[in-house]
Structure 1
Amino acid sequence: MFFFKKKEIPLSDFFPNGFVDIHSHLLPGIDDGAKDLEDSIALIQKMASYGIKNFITTPHILGEMYPNTPEIIKGKLQEVREELVKRNITDITIDAAAEYMMDEQFSILLEKDEILTLKDNLVLVEMSYFSPPLNLFDILFQLQLKGYKPVLAHPERYISYHNDFKVYQKLKTAGCLFQLNLLSLTEQYGKGVQKTAEKLLKENLYDFVGTDTHHQMHLELLRKIGTPKNLKQLAHIMKSTVQRFGKQTK
């Protein structure tokens, strides 16, 4: 009996032209992503080999653990841009926003309008995987009162919702856009997350995709998404990501 390996699609052929990764942790030394400048460049170069050359990287802003500010983030972004130029890496575009934990500190930042957006009024937000804030829908309402549109990072990873699927529709009705972690289609976060991602895809609830890359191990695992099935499921979402965040060309 012969066993044939499942057909794989190289990631350089998987991502559409102009694809923008809107969720990653590539700035050096300010969260649990890239450890230093060398690590930042190595991650970017590896992703470029996959055909991902446009980034809106999103360091955590999370209380005292990652007390990043727009000034810190913009400073680190400039370091990375300068290093890319220094190394004559000219085919990369990189901007920065943030991934905001929806907590009391976020409400303070929101009140002060100290928010870094992905683009225009779109803000990447997250919450505890196990215990969403009791005032979640109030936070989402306040966010939109301020003129922002929430993009909920990796909704498939919120374990407390896995047995209450109706809450996803409630979040959409409350104005949330959903961003899929591509790594959720692998075993990276466990079978429960993978299954929930598949269900959300089937229900057509995702608006955008991102890699949520933190380190080289993530990029090794990312290779596994290159299948015909995944490409079929993700093509329109990747296209919408390009259309919303891509550079406008004449």
Structure 2
Amino acid sequence: MLSIFRKNTFLVDLIEGITDFHNHILPGIDDGAKTVEESIELIREFENLGIKNFVATPHVIGEYYPNTPETISKAYGELKPHLSDSIKLGYAAEYMMDQHFTEIIENDQILPITKKKVLVEMSYFQPPINLNEILFKLQNNSFSPILAHPERYSYWHSKDLQKYENIRSRGCDFQLNMLSLSGHYGKGIQKTAFQLIENDMIDLLASDVHRKDHIEKIQNIKISKKHLKTLQQIIQNSKNLFS
């Protein structure tokens, strides 16, 4: 609960009712929950934060996580019967933008998170050489990309944010990880996360939760007055995405 005696607001004070559209809660198909029991435990922890609506987004990464609509649907089918009626669960994917992804687009195998919005990511080592081509192909097929955790791509970190501005100009929305605000990925990523917030370059917010300790860290994130208003708008945008 909000309190007039607090110097800072906690992030969990703001996110009740949000749809978490980036997470790894489906069992046994990527580096997230391994079993149905782990999936249920994560969802119960989310419920304690006031989050009951989810779009599960397992990784789709070439040979590492070669998920398809069929494998994702199967994992969803294993979990869904164990959830109460108060939990709303859908499924999509988090797509690595690589050559395999272009084949998925061409074969019409895309699972959007909502409408025609598609969650995509890049390698943490370097962007794809044909990034512009991939984005063009995606958009040419009437899909709109949401770039997951832009703050985590350290090769784009800079004072002027020019590379971020360039990719946004190509029609990418930016989705911030809640965990990035905690310092979980390191101080440099935390700094860039707030830098992007301050420059109005973040459109949406989601958790990217893989494990229970991730949720525990989210519970402890404090938001200063400096960032409060902008984060409130980002959270509202995230809610509007599914309205």
Q: So what's the TM-score if we normalise by structure 1?
A: 0.90
**Structure 1 residue ranges (4+ consecutive) displaced by more than 4 angstroms after TM superposition:** 4-8
Aligned to 1:61: 60
The alignment partner of 1:245 has SS state of coil
The count of residues paired between Structure 1 and Structure 2 equals: 237
CA deviations over 1:125-181 (Å, ceiling 9, x no partner): 000112111111111111101111000000000010003620111111101011000
CA deviations over 1:23-42 (Å, ceiling 9, x no partner): 00000010000010000000
Aligned to 2:28: 29
Selected match of 1:174 from 170, 182, 192: 170
Within-5 A mapping of 1:2-151: 6-9=7-10, 11=12, 13-16=13-16, 18-84=17-83, 89-151=84-146
More displaced stretch, 235-244 vs 162-171: 162-171
Q: Does 1:232 align with 2:229?
A: yes
Q: Which residue identity lines up with residue 26 of structure 2 in the other structure? A: L
Q: Distance in 2 between matches of 1:7 and 1:204?
A: 21
The Cα of 1:8 is off from its aligned counterpart by 5.0
Q: Distance in 2 between matches of 1:242 and 1:5?
A: 26
Q: Distance in 2 between matches of 1:39 and 1:64?
A: 24
Ranges in structure 2 where 5+ consecutive residues have no aligned partner: none
Aligned to 1:209: 205
Checking the alignment, whether the CA contact within 8 Å between 1:14 and 1:231 is kept in structure 2 is: no
Checking the alignment, whether the CA contact within 8 Å between 1:61 and 1:67 is kept in structure 2 is: yes
Q: CA RMSD in A?
A: 1.6
Q: So what's the TM-score if we normalise by structure 2?
A: 0.93
Q: Which residue identity lines up with residue 110 of structure 1 in the other structure? A: I
Q: Distance in 2 between matches of 1:10 and 1:171?
A: 27
The alignment partner of 2:193 has SS state of helix
Checking the alignment, whether the CA contact within 8 Å between 2:59 and 2:93 is kept in structure 1 is: yes
Q: Which residue identity lines up with residue 109 of structure 1 in the other structure? A: I
Q: Which residue identity lines up with residue 23 of structure 2 in the other structure? A: S
The Cα of 1:5 is off from its aligned counterpart by 7.9
Q: Distance in 2 between matches of 1:177 and 1:7?
A: 28
Q: Distance in 1 between matches of 2:7 and 2:31?
A: 34
The Cα of 1:6 is off from its aligned counterpart by 4.9
The alignment partner of 2:111 has SS state of coil
Aligned to 1:245: 242
Q: Distance in 1 between matches of 2:8 and 2:155?
A: 35
Aligned to 1:183: 179
The Cα of 1:102 is off from its aligned counterpart by 0.3
Q: Does 1:223 align with 2:219?
A: yes
The alignment partner of 2:129 has SS state of coil
Checking the alignment, whether the CA contact within 8 Å between 2:178 and 2:218 is kept in structure 1 is: yes
The Cα of 1:227 is off from its aligned counterpart by 3.4
Checking the alignment, whether the CA contact within 8 Å between 1:151 and 1:178 is kept in structure 2 is: yes
Ranges in structure 1 where 5+ consecutive residues have no aligned partner: none
CA deviations over 1:15-62 (Å, ceiling 9, x no partner): 24x310010000001000001000000000001100111001100000
Q: Which residue identity lines up with residue 124 of structure 2 in the other structure? A: Y
